[in-house]
Amino acid sequence: MLDFIHEANWWCLLLLLFLAFLLGWLLSKWSLKNKYKKALDECERKNTLLKNSNHEKANSTFSNSGDTDNGIKAVKTRDHGGVAVTNGGAPPKLNFDSFGTADASEKDDLKLISGVGPFIEEKLNSIGIYTFDQISKFTKEDIDTVTALIQFFPGRIERDNWSKQAKKLKEK
Q: What are the residue boundaries of the structural domains of the chain, listed by start?
A: 10-55, 96-171
Q: Say what the pTM is.
A: 0.48
Q: What's the one-letter identity of residue 67?
A: D
Contact 113, 169 (CB under 8 A): yes
User: Model confidence at 85, in pLDDT bands (50, 70, 90)?
Assistant: low
Helix axes 140-150, 118-126, angle to 10 degrees: 110
User: Model confidence at 58, in pLDDT bands (50, 70, 90)?
Assistant: low
User: Model confidence at 3, in pLDDT bands (50, 70, 90)?
Assistant: low
Asked whether the predicted pLDDT for residue 96 surpasses 70, the reply is yes
Contacts of 166 (CB under 8 A, 6+ apart): 113, 132, 133, 134, 135, 136
Helix (H, G, I), strand (E, B) or coil at 34: helix
Closest-CA residue to 155 (of 109, 115, 125, 101): 115
Q: What is the pLDDT of residues 105-136, one digit of tens each?
A: 989 999 999 988 898 899 899 989 999 999 99
Closest-CA residue to 138 (of 170, 100, 106): 100
> What is the per-residue pLDDT for 71?
59
